[in-house]
Amino acid sequence: MAGSTFKDKVVVITGASSGIGRELACQLAGQGAWLSLAARDVERLAKVRAESQTRGGRAIPVQTDVSQQSQCESLIQETVKKYERIDVLVNNAGITMWAKFEDLQDLGLVEQIMRINFFGSVYCTHYALPYLKQTKGQIVAVSSLTGKTGIPTRSAYAASKHAMAGFFDSLRIEIAEYGVDVTTIYPDFVSSEVRERALGPDGLPLGTSPVREKEVMSTETCAEMIIQAMEQRKRELIMSFRGRIGQWLKLIAPRVVDRIALRAINQGR
């Protein structure tokens, strides 16, 4: 088949029940990948599994809360039990927020975001690494543009994504000798369900998205770009023009970047 870099490759995807994770699963299944799909929602996972199989891939659903270390270990063991190896780990599971830090009513929200976004990636990577070393595989970390620069109303989320960036940049150097590559992805706004589940100042999901979803990148385009970066085993991918320009501006005019970030949040795109 055309574009079959991942044919018969074993790919673990966390946060696979919706959004970017679901789309990655479907597109990789179209290449004939063998998928291990992880998320908390069993019913949604079953639907993604069925769609993946329809597209020509193999898939197993593994109910996983990545904030729980034992469940991350079980995910990796279930994958190896089924497929006997792991070629790619995609750390995609995540949760976001939409509230000023001063308005938070419970600081447990900060810990929750860190446990899912950062520690969930650390746990899965720790247990998958021995198998990735055997296959000279690849780790993909889906961070965010907020992992490069601070964004208002996203303080804890930005902290978790900065932590991911630092962890995977360090890990990349440590494991290069084993032939394992680390690709860190920095999306801008992407139209997905993640913001409907974003936590507000009371720690509860917003229920509606504050972003103009029709004016931002689609999950289909996002997944295509991620898969292309995976194929090329890139070091990192900053997915928007303003994100790439922002890295240069931050060096010479950081206050301009602050204003751009504030405007993006106020405009919702």
Task: Tell whether the model's pLDDT for residue 2 goes beyond 50.
Answer: no
Q: Convert the pLDDT of each residue in 20-54 to its tens digit.
A: 999 999 999 999 999 999 999 999 999 999 999 99
Pick 235 or 202 by higher pLDDT.
Answer: 235
Q: Is 83 a known active-site residue? A: no
- Domains of the chain, residue spans: 10-240
Choosing from 131, 157, 178, 186, which is the catalytic residue? 157
- Quote the CA–CA distance of 40 and 36 in Å, as a whole number: 13
* Beta-sheet pairing, 34-39 with 58-63: parallel
- Quote the CA–CA distance of 185 and 178 in Å, as a whole number: 21
For residue 183, list its beta bridge partners. Answer: 140
Which has the minimum average pLDDT: 64-78, 162-176, 206-220? 206-220
Q: Convert the pLDDT of each residue in 163-204 to its tens digit.
A: 999 999 999 999 999 999 999 999 987 877 665 678 888 888
Measured in whole angstroms, the distance separating CA 85 from the mean position of its chain's CA atoms is 21
15 and 94 Cβ atoms separated by less than 8 Å: yes
Average pLDDT over residues 149-164: 93
Number of alpha carbons in the 13 Å side-chain half-sphere of residue 77: 7
For residue 151 the two structure tokens come to 């964004």
Percent of the chain topping pLDDT 70: 93
Whole-number pLDDT of residue 173 = 98
Whole-number pLDDT of residue 83 = 98
Q: Cα–Cα–Cα angle for 80, 83, 87, nearest 5°? A: 80
Across all residues in the chain, what is the average pLDDT? 90
For residue 124 the two structure tokens come to 């899965």
Task: Tell whether the model's pLDDT for residue 1 goes beyond 50.
Answer: no
Average pLDDT over residues 147-152: 88
Task: Tell whether the model's pLDDT for residue 118 goes beyond 80.
Answer: yes
Whether CATH 3.10.20.30 fits 10-240: no
